Structure 1
Amino acid sequence: MHRSRPHCVLLLTLLTLAGAPLAVQARTLRMVTLLYRHGDRAPIDTYPKDPHKDAAWPGGLQQLTQEGMRQQYELGQYLRSRYQDFLSSSYRRQEIYVRSTDYDRTLMSAQANLAGLYPPNSSELWNPEIKWQPIPIHTVPVSQDRLLKFPMKDCPRYHELMEETVQLPQYQDKMDAWKDFIKEIANHTGYSVEGTGPRRAWKVYDTLFCQKTHNLSLPEWATPQVMATLEEISTFEVMSHVGFHKLNEKARLTGGILVDAVLRNFSEVLRRSLPLKMIMYSAHDSTIIALQGALRVFNGRHPPYAACHIFEFYQETDGSYSVSMLYRNTSSSAPYQLVLPGCSASCPLHRFIELTAPVIPEDWGKECHRKDNSSPATERAIIALSALSGLLVLATVTLAVLYGRLRKRYRTM
């Protein structure tokens, strides 16, 4: 559900019209948008000297585990409990839209979540032995996903920003402090020292974390201190992508895209009086980090499995609209409130739009591509080469014509 950029103007107009006293008796929940991380999974990769390799994971690397399925099912049950008076007790396709990134673990997480959110009632039981009903989940290829899988490969400007970030003194100081530690990790894991940096340290940590979670033995060198340092490096790596340098511009190329979509969708629901009540996004820790980084509410901690960021849109008693944000990062306690800097917990929607405007891209494609840095001398060289190529082509054609005429004349003799 995406429209043209002027959605903020339209939404502000709708909010102004709604500001007049209406026959609204109480604060009313109008729409919910939520983004969650997939459930527990196998490691993304293994390292060369990993004693377990991928044989330890029956479902395969990167795949959702049974524990991950249980986590998502429990999240779905929580959402049913929280929104039992908002969503219909039976599945209604007009009320919910579900989108996932095109990965097995996120698609399966969405399926498990929906099983907990919409347990079939008697009329929905298509097979009495299966307490489950199919619900549509939408996706697009990873290479085309600009909403939930942020540009790491095809956004030159983002790479420029990261190159600038790693040159900062605060970044270089950290790398110098970890230099000897990273050499040791390279030796233990079998990676080359030159190729071992923060990103690879994160992969090693991820592998060890997954193995520890699933009660697999860790190598002797993976002491609690080593694990703590790897986690510290991983956290620093995450922060470098959303902080330290040109925060708004980074956000415009990543999490701001999703902030924009959340506002666009609510604008569309109001404009067209749609019955849509919930939009559900099944994605990754990186998606949550980018979103919360753009909103300036990221706490610096890695989102755990099944972490869920919630937007709740309300119509107030005076007819105006507000938005509240919640974050559920554990099943042992209720989600806690997130407050957009510069606003209140229940943020008036027009204020929310104003505060997030700097992180919403006007034209992502234009903002993402490198500026033309070619010098006048380079441009002249390109023009000269083009002219020379043209002359060569012309000479080739002329010779071909002459050769053809000579052959024709020779044959007629």
Structure 2
Amino acid sequence: MNEFASVVLFVSLAQFFEEVTSELVYLQAVCRHGDRAPIEFHPNYQHIEKWNMGRGRLTEKGMDQCYLNGRMYRNHYQKLFSEPYNPNEMIIQSSHIDRTITSGQSFAAGFLGSGYLPEVSNTGKYVPYPVHSISDEVDYYLAGAGRICAQLISIFEDYTASQHYSLFVAENQEKIGHVCEKAGYPLKEWSLTSVCRLADTFTCDKAHGLSLPDWLDEDTWQTILNISQKARELRLTYPGVKTYQVGGGGFIHLLLENLRGFVNGTQNETVFNLYYAHDNTLLGFLTNLNYDDLRSNPVYTSCINIELHYTNDRFLVDVLYKNESESMTMHRLVPWGCPQNESCLLENFFISMEGLENPDPAAACRPTDIVIQLTFTASHLVVLSVSSCILLITLLTLAYACGLNRATNKLAPKKRGVHYAPLKFMSDL
């Protein structure tokens, strides 16, 4: 065996040994909720009665999807969890919005199953699992940043006023007007926002086999999709958005803190932190990793998994994207500085992600007017100081001129009227 073959064999055996001895010790996942009703109904919408669960709420199909997702996670990661059931091993958190709370509950029912529920379940009673929701007033992580983060609101205002945005709208204005008119929107609502709402509503209709309006042929449907997808991509990639966006800097800090806590032994018995959130949450995270397909919306119950492995006295991280509703098919996401086809050393993962995290999103989102007020206050001090100096110099100049005038008047012969002497400025002194 030549030297090259020996090296290859050694490396292969080393990799095989590492794979065999590698142990998954901690898991984090952020998942999109299950199938839901449309968020908005346009004026000419004909299927309102079909969505009796209410706008934006989880459907029965969505509950089934999340239940299946829970079963798939239990089967895929079963070695991570204890048998019998240990209630301290899994923590589920969600946004404050109903569809994510019920998605987390449905996931838990599938994940635990009858074989993992406490003994009280033998009575035939349903045993609910707690889902902790984050209040809208402080949710910079999963859902609320677009409403409570003044910096993000300001950035979105800049975006809608930008030349890039205006040009995109102008290029598609005829198409926007056509579909908005057909949908029954008044002229003042012929906008990009209305087209995006239509894309959402018709996506829900198509998923449930509901009839579509006659004017919505395949070409028009593709127009609506293309406009809404491009608008999403432009918004997510606008400078500054990814720092404050849900799934962005604040959420990344939360994930990193969980990893630090587990490694430092402060996570207690928790081995699985699950977050049920929204498509924008996953897209916010993907944007920070420079994911190259932001036009494709994450499907229902898609998840991003952050796996922590332990092998040979070191920790390794895998970031995996499951953009599937009915399988655990995943592909690797590669943060900057991590290898393409291998797990990333924990210390390298921290280096790659720490520049993206926002440790205090509430402070970072401080209202813009406060920042401007502080800036103006400092400017006022500078202006006041300069003005004071000019005033002082002017008074001294006047005093000097008046003194010189008196001295001149004493020597000159007195005349009737007022004696005038020109004021000497700095350039004359």
TM-score > 0.5 by shorter chain? yes
Match of 1:174 in 2: 168
User: Alpha carbons of 1:126 and 1:362: their partners in 2 closer, same or farther (altered >3 Å)?
Assistant: closer
Instruction: Say whether the 8 Å CA contact 1:120–1:132 is kept in structure 2.
Output: no
Is 2:78 aligned against 1:47?
no
Equivalences for 1:325-340 in 2 at 5 Å?
Answer: 325-330=319-324, 331-332=326-327, 334-340=329-335
Judging changes above 3 Å, is the alpha-carbon distance between structure 1 residues 372 and 123 closer, same or farther for their aligned structure 2 residues?
closer
Question: 1:348 and 1:89 mapped to 2: Cα distance?
Answer: 30
Residues 210-240 of structure 1: CA deviation (Å, up to 9, x unaligned): 1121111111111112221211222122223
Q: Which residue of 1 aligns with 2:181?
A: 187
- How far, CA to CA, are the matches of 1:46 and 1:247 in structure 2? 28
Aligned to 2:198: 204
Q: CA deviation at 1:245?
A: 2.4
Cα distance, 1:303 vs. partner?
0.7
- Answering whether residue 112 of structure 2 is matched by residue 118 of structure 1, we say yes
Aligned pairs for 1:8-407 (under 5 A) are 26-53=21-48, 55-121=49-115, 124-128=118-122, 130=124, 133-246=127-240, 249-250=243-244, 255-272=248-265, 274-297=268-291, 299-300=293-294, 301-317=296-312, 319-330=313-324, 331-332=326-327, 334-344=329-339, 345-369=342-366, 370=368, 371-372=371-372, 375=376
1:379, distance to aligned residue in structure 2 (A): 7.0
Q: 2: distance between equivalents of 1:217 and 1:230?
A: 17
2 CA distance for matches of 1:364 and 1:223?
Answer: 44
TM-score, with length taken from structure 2: 0.76
For 1:134 and 1:248, locate their aligned partners in 2 and report how far apart those are by CA, in whole Å.
36
C-alpha distance in 1 between matches for 2:103 and 2:259:
25
Structure 2 equivalent of residue 390 of structure 1: none
Q: Structure 1 residues 347 and 196 mapped into 2: Cα distance closer, same or farther (>3 Å)? A: farther
SS in 1 for 2:176: helix
Sort the Cα spacing of 1:298 and 1:41 in 2 relative to 1 into closer, same or farther, 3 A. Answer: farther
Conserved? CA contact 2:28–2:307, under 8 Å: yes
Query: In the TM superposition, what is the alpha-carbon distance from 1:292 to its structure 2 partner?
Result: 1.5
- Compared with structure 1, are the counterparts of its residues 356 and 150 closer, same or farther at alpha carbon in structure 2 (3 Å cutoff)? farther
Name the CA shift for 1:316/1:378 in 2 (closer, same or farther; >3 Å).
Answer: closer
8 Å CA contact 2:25–2:310 kept in 1: the answer is yes
RMSD in angstroms over aligned alpha carbons?
2.7
The unaligned stretches of length 5 or more in structure 2 are 1-18, 382-429
| C-alpha spacing 1:333/1:34, structure 2 compared with 1 (3 Å) | closer
Give CA-to-partner distance per residue, 1:90-110, whole Å, 9 cap, x none: 331221111111222111111
Distance 1:196 1:151 in 2: 26
Shift of 1:376: 7.0
C-alpha contact (below 8 Å) 1:161/1:250 kept by paired residues: no
Q: Is the 8 A contact 2:140 2:362 kept in 1?
A: no
Q: Is the 8 A contact 2:26 2:271 kept in 1?
A: yes
Count how many residue pairs are aligned between Structure 1 and Structure 2: 355
User: How many Å separate the matches in 2 of 1:324 and 1:270?
Assistant: 15
CA offset at residue 169 of structure 1?
A: 4.0
The AA in structure 2 aligned to 1:272 is: G
CA distance in 1, matches of 2:320, 2:116: 33
**Residue type at the aligned position of 2:346:** L
